[in-house]
Amino acid sequence: MANTFYIVRHGQTNWNILGKTQGHGNSDLTVKGIEQATELAESLVKNHQIDYIFSSDLGRAVQTADILGKSLGVEVEKTPALREMGFGKWEGLLIDEIKSKYADVYTTWRNEPHLVEIPEGENLHIIKERVDKFINELNEKYDNKNILLVTHSVTVRVMLLSFLNSGMENIYRIKQDNTALNIVEFRNYGPVIIKMNDTTHIKNNEKINNSALE
């Protein structure tokens, strides 16, 4: 079980720019998002050997993964295991709309995210259980492979917290920008985070801080 995981958030989307909550809903990559994915692909080709690519089956992640897979010459396998957290009734809403319609729940999300129960949505513990199971399955199936995972902001953060044996209440202590690269090596004593939220591949980086996660 000595695999190395290259974990990537999808490129910028139209809803990212608008500040809408995405979850299982979908929004296509912007021109900038395609550019970010292309620049990441160039960096991966130059600096890393990737054996397998697994992507969330949500459109924005698939778009990103397809750009990476084409450049790397690796087929993309789609899986719901890497989906974003489902935000239920919040999906498609702006932060101000969420604050207005779901004030108490939003307060919990901001202050005690590990306790939040979003109407018709998932919680962080469901995501942790899902991604832990998937990582374990990959580690049982492969050995000494470089595995690229294309996923989403909350999902990446949950993975990293789980690798660190840290509680889900710390979700806001990790930042994940669009197409950020995280590298995690599994060693005989467990996972080691080598790189986190690396966006040095993006030539003209623009930060967006209008989502419910920032």
Active-site residues, by number, are 10, 84
DSSP character at residue 26: -
Tell me how crowded residue 153 is: count the other CB atoms within 10 A of its CB. Answer: 23
Are the CB atoms for 109 and 212 separated by under 8 Å? yes
Q: How many CB atoms lie within 10 A of CB 89?
A: 16
Phi-psi region of 27 (alpha: psi -120 to 50; beta: other; left: phi over 0): beta
Strands 52-56 and 146-151: parallel
The DSSP letter of residue 94 is B
Contact 29, 46 (CB under 8 A): no
Task: Express the helix, strand and coil content of the chain in percent, nearest 5 each.
Answer: 45, 20, 35
- Residue 212 has a CB neighbour count (10 Å cut-off) of 20
Q: Which residues pair with 13 in a beta bridge?
A: 29
Q: Alpha-carbon distance 131 to 98, whole Å?
A: 27
